[in-house]
Amino acid sequence: MATTNHTQAAQVPDGDDDERRQKGMTIGVVCKGLAQEFPDISISKIRYLEDQKLLNPRRTAGGYRLYSPSDMVRLRTILRLQRDEFLPLRVIRQELASGRATDGDGKVATESSHAVASKRKRRASVSVTDGGAMYALEDVLEETRADPSLVRELEDYGVIKGELRAGKHYYDETEREIIGAVTELARYGVGGRNLRVFRSSADREAALLQQILAPALRSRNPERRKEALEALENLAAVATHLKHLLLIRDLRKIAK
């Protein structure tokens, strides 16, 4: 940790940067890179976080951990939630699982440590209005560590559809996250065929919400339409929250 490097790239020839992006960084490199912002990071701590199911980096053939850029983002998020929001790991895990934990990123150099400002930043992926960003299949696979056959399955089921550009498949942000979530579920043993359950309930709800907001949505008055879109988004958020609560309620019966 003692090394005083501002830019961690400085030590490394430019050529390696590409290589690192592809291959990922080893745990020691990751650790040194984070030592700037998080002085009490350590290799063993990073391994511990993995042990606690907060990370899941790729491995080399020999078993070495390889951290991708998105692993880094996730790791940084974890450390920030821990340091700034005082969240226990168990809660951070949940926050990440529920997609709630997009943090403010930033090359913000010296954020005076304990500024606990809750910044409500809405994720693009949970917004009805599409951001428009697209991601290549290979990037998505790398980032989510998804099984390619699972992606095909999702396409077959019509859950996602992607887009074909120049012979490559591209997915929007929501689709990317769907793939991530499904991959996560698969790790717990929820197979592709079970997704029908989720899909059909989403369809039913969408129909319900549409029905309620249909008049406003069809309005030619742009102001009114915008309001309707906002309402739609809020409704979606509340509906999701309610569904979660009902699920919890059911699970509690099961669990006891």
List strands edge to edge, sheet with 134-136.
134-136, 168-172, 163-165
Q: Near DNA by CB under 7 A, which window of 47-55, 101-109, 149-157, 233-241?
A: 47-55
Alpha carbon 76 to its chain centroid, in Å, reads 13
Task: Work out which of 21, 90, 100, 121 binds DNA, going by CB under 7 A.
Answer: 90
Q: Near DNA by CB under 7 A, which window of 63-71, 104-112, 114-122, 198-206?
A: 63-71
C-beta of residue 57 within 8 angstroms of C-beta of residue 74:
no
Asked if 217 touches a second copy (CB under 8 A), the answer is yes
Q: How many helices (H) and strands (E) does the chain have?
A: 10, 5
Q: Residue 227 burial by CB count (10 A; 0-12/13-18/19+): exposed, middle or buried?
A: middle
For residue 47, the partner it binds in DNA, a second copy, none, with Cβ less than 5 to 8 A by kind, is: DNA
Which of 31, 184, 208, 210 lies closest to 93, judged by CA?
184
Task: Work out which of 9, 129, 148, 165 binds a second copy, going by CB under 8 A.
Answer: 129
Helix axes 69-84, 27-34, angle to 10 degrees: 40
Contacts of 182 (CB under 8 A, 6+ apart): 146, 150, 154, 159, 192, 195
Least separation in angstroms between CB 3 and a second copy: 25
Between residues 27 and 239, which has the closer beta carbon with respect to DNA? 27
Asked if 131 touches DNA (CB under 7 A), the answer is no
Site track for a second copy across 31-70, x = CB under 8 A: ----------------------x-----------------
Asked if 235 touches a second copy (CB under 8 A), the answer is yes
Contacts with DNA by CB under 7 A lie at 1, 3, 26-29, 40, 42-45, 47-48, 52, 60-65, 82, 88-90
